[in-house]
Amino acid sequence: MLTTARTTGICYKTWPQAPFDCTRSDSGTWQAGRRFNLSSISACATRCLQCERCAWVAYGRRECAWYASCEHPVDKPAYERMRVRAAPPPGPRLEAGHTCGRVRTPKAVTPAPLPVPAPECRSASDAASFLALAGRKHRLACLGDSITRGDGAHEAGRGSHAPFKRSIVGRGNYPAALQALLGSEDWLVGNFGVSGRTAMPTGDAYAATREFQSLRCFAPELAVLMLGTNDAKPVHWGPRQRFPHARLVRALVDLGRQAGQ
């Protein structure tokens, strides 16, 4: 094993949830406390030797990230970085005439349209401005908790502030799927999801959020309501009581009526 002096930082960002292949990928991450007993950068380097494409490792925050190259390292004091191999072996070779080896012209990929986030709605002029931008498009609002919010791809500043934690990466975004299915020419889908909110009037009630209040600017023609998951938490209704099913249904009906006003 070729090892160099340890230094702080990583080679570049990797996502723990992203799948990888040690014979083809250029990077990946092993979770230190789940399947692998990785408690130091030395253990991380030993694991690297079992991964064919691994040449560099970075260890920190109970994660072992590996890389095939490290041309533009990033300084991160919480991580240690070390070189394990001089260079990774080349990727898999294909036999002559193999169909996977043919050169193909990549097709242009048009990014899928994203749903709009909840608009700022402080006055009647804000509502008029938003409706003028929406034009004649039909408006569909998706209301709910973190299931609706999904990966936050529709929110500004992705990756640069607190809401974009690693825990929500890869969750998907069903309002974005709706926007893609309906198309952006005639439909405008809004993602009004807020993590951890409830339908019933608790301390985390969805009706008290800025997203719900901004519905008067969005003025949806249709609304999809997905709430109730967080209402099931005993902290909201008491562990020794029966779950208030009727109260939850009334709360959902009231939210639906308010969304349509």
Q: How confident is the model at residue 101 (pLDDT cuts 50, 70, 90)?
A: very low
Q: Which two tokens stand for residue 251?
A: 């709360």
Q: Say if residues 192 and 142 touch (Cβ distance below 8 Å).
A: yes
Tell me the fold of 7-83.
Hepatocyte Growth Factor (3.50.4)
Alpha helices in 92-219 (DSSP H): 124-134, 146-149, 174-182, 210-213, 215-218
Give residue-wise pLDDT tens across range 206-253: 999 988 988 888 888 899 999 999 998 888 777 667 888 888 899 999
Q: What is the pLDDT of residue 19?
A: 74
Distance CA 86, CA 82 (A): 11
The predicted structure's pLDDT at residue 98:
45
Query: CA of 115: how far to CAs of 130, 145, 185, in Å?
Result: 14, 16, 13
Query: What is the pLDDT, as a whole number, of residue 253?
Result: 92
pLDDT one-digit tens code per residue, 34-89: 567 788 888 888 888 888 889 999 998 888 999 998 988 888 888 999 999 887 66
196 pLDDT above the threshold of 50? yes
Q: 120-175, pLDDT tens digit by residue? A: 777 777 777 777 777 888 889 999 998 998 887 787 765 444 444 555 666 778 99
DSSP class per residue in 209-225: SHHHHTHHHH--SEEEE
Given a cut of 50, whether residue 103 has pLDDT beyond it is no
**Which residue, among 179, 229, 184, 221, has the nearest Cα to 202 in the 3D structure?**
229
Q: pTM for this structure?
A: 0.55
Q: Between residues 176 and 95, which one has the greater pLDDT?
A: 176
In the chain, domain spans:
7-83, 116-259
pLDDT at 157: 60
Question: Do the beta carbons of residue 125 and residue 170 sit within 8 Å?
Answer: no
Residue 25 pLDDT exceeds 90: no
Neighbours of 18 (CB within 10 A): 12
Kind and range of the H or E run holding 251: helix 245-259
Q: Do 146 and 195 touch, CB atoms closer than 8 A?
A: yes
Specify the higher pLDDT residue, 88 or 198: 198
The pLDDT of residue 161: 42
The answer, yes or no, to whether residue 15 has pLDDT greater than 50, is yes
